[in-house]
Structure 1
């Protein structure tokens, strides 16, 4: 059974990290690329945000007996397969898992232009993930 406290906590973290990232927007791409401190703050916040999404997906998948499990992308896919996430949100969140892996494990050099673009263009996907999982949770109770 899904633990309401875990769901609420993870949704709160997702909301907080998304809002933090929204507050970090506003500088030009050139300023961002030149500011190592801001880059590190943005990257770390993205990693925390995406990990919170993965943790929530894992909790729902395990509690509801959904499959598949195994990888972080599979945790997200299980929510899509169960109809909790829309296909577009599932796809974008699976891409976010790959993005988190690049940031966390430093596969090659992080492309700061890409991080800047994600910061400015893609935060709405995290809002949508939060909305869809919260709606599922509310409808279920």
Structure 2
């Protein structure tokens, strides 16, 4: 493999670091799952809501970074749209169709969080994501671990 193609040690380390970021952010978000919807939405919880939103942003950014790193390792050009990077992993068989769909939804969610400010963010949507969507990132991390195992065995 040349330095421009393949899963170099540097790329493998980048992916491993992003997996660690995913695991840390999922763990951090799990701490807030016991909150009731009204506790999450209360005026006293502004900083907590901002922390949850930021953890989701970082979690999804790490997911996309992994996708882009794998695509680059294949020698392909990295798509300009983050959702297309997820589709690239699906096409390579790294993740299945259902997980790819859920991750593309997450990318859209991240875009809303990153580009919407103040009261425009729907706290109910974020709360629902907190309650229902963390499993997609665990499944993604497991799929990437399997990919790394296969890639590094070659």
Scaled to the shorter chain, the TM-score interval is over 0.9
Equivalent in the alignment of 1:74: 84
2:100 to 90, 101, 111: 90
| Contact 2:37-2:124 at 8 Å conserved across structures | yes
Shift of 1:65: 2.7
Moved more, 5-14 or 59-68: 59-68
- Deviations 1:26-83 (CA, angstroms, capped at 9, x unpaired): 1100110112111100000000000000111111111113467111001111000111
Within the alignment, does 1:112 sit opposite 2:123 as a pair? yes
- Give TM-score, length-normalised by structure 2: 0.87
Give the gaps of 5 or more residues in structure 1.
none
Give the 4+ runs in structure 1 shifted more than 2 A: 65-68
Aligned length: 141
How is 1:1-141 mapped onto 2 (pairs within 5 angstroms)?
A: 1-2=6-7, 3-34=11-42, 35-66=45-76, 69-106=79-116, 109-141=120-152
Judge conservation of contact 2:68–2:78 (CA < 8 Å) in 1.
Answer: no
The answer to whether the 8 A contact 2:37-2:127 is kept is yes
Preserved contact between residue 72 and residue 78 of structure 2 (Cα < 8 Å): no
2:3 aligned residue: none
CA distance in 1, matches of 2:77, 2:142: 22
Where does structure 2 lack aligned partners over 5 or more consecutive residues? 1-5
Label 1:51 to 1:126 Cα distance change in 2 as closer, same or farther (>3 A): same
Q: In terms of Rg, which structure is larger?
A: 2
The CA RMSD measured in Å over matched residues stands at 1.5
